Amino acid sequence: METPKNSQSAWALHTRLQTATRTARTDAERATLPPAHSRRRLTAGAPWALLQTLHVSPGELDPSLSPDRALRQVLAGLLDGDGTADVPCHLDEVEGPILIIRSAPWPVLRTLLDALAAREELPPISVLCHQRDADALARLAQETALALVPVFYPRFEPFVTATLRRLLAGGPWTSTFVLDTSKHGHGHSLEHVTDAVASRMKYVWNGSGVAFRQRSLRERLGREEYALVRGLLRWRAARPPREQ
């Protein structure tokens, strides 16, 4: 490098050195910053990417499946890996006070009440139903000789999770039953009801007169896998109709 011969050339060299120093410092700072994460839309291959993480042999993968069928396989694979599925339980294990949500026809409720009445110690029992069911519930209480406490749903409509949550908040019940009309039902189609229940123990009573300790999808899958499933379902719902 040539030595500056006068003050003007020395000033020019000093300016170039300052500029080069600032540029080098800026480049160093950028190199240490974490990369920016841009939001991007999941591709149609997302279900298969998750499916690959399951313990499935390569021969069972079929890339020609539609996204909907792929999602069903993902969910089935996750649930199959759950070693603690719903298990029948004995009514003697159920702690009171008890709330029964009448989510099935009256005969299903009657079989549960008859089974509870056979216990040596009968805890207090409340029954949630619609206001229009008041007379039918009173007759059932008389027939079974049980002191049933009614809890009336405020409107005549299918049970809504938010309304149930407000109605049942702060209730005294330790255990809650939902009624599944299916003979082999485990109450999975009634999750919108059990999601609103604050009781510590949740049970299903089905059309065959069998009680199950119900476990929600969140309980069965765990926090991380449940978040994956919800994310995939949101992705599927957000896709344009022509791609579904």
The pLDDT, as a whole number, for residue 69 is 73
Task: Tell me the CATH class for 88-213.
Answer: alpha beta
Matching residue, tokens 């000033």:
11
Vertex 219: Cα angle to 216 and 223 (nearest 5):
125
Comparing 79 with 208, which gets the higher pLDDT?
Answer: 208
Give the start-to-end residue ranges of the domains of the chain: 88-213, 218-244
pLDDT in tens, 216-234: 667 677 777 777 777 777 7
The pLDDT, as a whole number, for residue 4 is 46
H helix runs in the chain, sequence order: 7-32, 46-51, 67-80, 106-117, 134-144, 161-168, 191-194, 217-238
Phi, psi of 178 (to 5 degrees): -110, 150
The pLDDT, as a whole number, for residue 120 is 81
Q: For residue 2, name the pLDDT band (cuts at 50, 70, 90).
A: very low
What per-residue string of b and e applies to 90-117 under the rule 16 or more CB within 10 Å gives b? Answer: eeeebebbbbbbbbbeeebbebbbeebe
Give pTM, 2 decimals. Answer: 0.57
pLDDT in tens, 59-76: 555 666 677 777 777 776
Residue 104 in contact with residue 207, Cβ under 8 Å? Answer: yes
Percent of the chain with pLDDT strictly greater than 90: 29
CA distance 231 to 105: 35
Asked if pLDDT for residue 43 goes beyond 90, the answer is no
